[in-house]
Amino acid sequence: MHMFPRIIVSDPDHASAFYKDTLGAEEVFRAPPLDDGRPSVIDHRVGDSSLRISPAVSEWGWLAPGDIGGSPVLLEVEVDDPDGIGERMSARGAEVIVPIENRPYGKRSGRIRDPFGHLWIITGDLR
C-alpha cells in the first residue's frame, strides 16, 4: 500500500516553490493545466515520501484551508534540522504556532502554519 497526501491550495505553483525552497521537495510530475491555467496536480518527492499539491476547485469538493476556516489536518515531517526548516518556512511567510524546542517526549519539534493555511509539525532529534 502507498499513501499520497494531496494538499489543496489556491495557487499550486506558489505552494510548489515554497515546498521546494523549504523542504527540499523535488517536482517529479506536473499534470496538464486546468482551464484556468493551474495544474491539476504537482507531485513532489520529499525524502522517501510523496507530497501532491492541487488547486482548490469547489465544484469538485477540493477546498483549501481558507475555504473552510482552517486546516483540519496536521502534516508531520521528521527532518535532520527542524530549526533550519522552521526558520526557512518562517522566512517565506509561514507562521510559528508552537516554537520548535526540545520536548519532554524526546523530540525537538514545533508547529507551523504555512502561507497556504496547512499545519505542519516539524520534528527531529533533540539537540
In a domain, residue 75? The reply is yes
pLDDT of residue 11: 97
Please give the grid coordinates belonging to residue 45.
518527492
In a domain, residue 68? The reply is yes
**Which range marks the domain in which residue 44 is found?**
6-124
pLDDT of residue 42: 98
Report the CATH number at residue 50: 3.10.180.10
The residue with cell 504537482 is 42
pLDDT of residue 66: 95
In a domain, residue 1? The reply is no
pLDDT of residue 2: 86
pLDDT of residue 127: 87
pLDDT of residue 94: 98
Per-residue CA distances from 46 to 35, 43, 56, 76 (Å): 28, 10, 22, 12
55 contacts: CB under 8 Å, gap ≥ 6: 8, 9, 10, 11, 12, 34, 36, 38, 39, 40, 62
In a domain, residue 67? The reply is yes
In a domain, residue 69? The reply is yes
Q: What is the pLDDT along the chain (127 residues), one digit of tens a residue?
A: 888 999 999 999 999 999 999 999 999 999 999 999 999 999 999 999 999 999 999 999 999 999 999 999 999 999 999 999 999 999 999 999 999 999 999 999 999 999 999 999 999 999 8
In a domain, residue 82? The reply is yes
Indicate the number of domains in the chain: 1
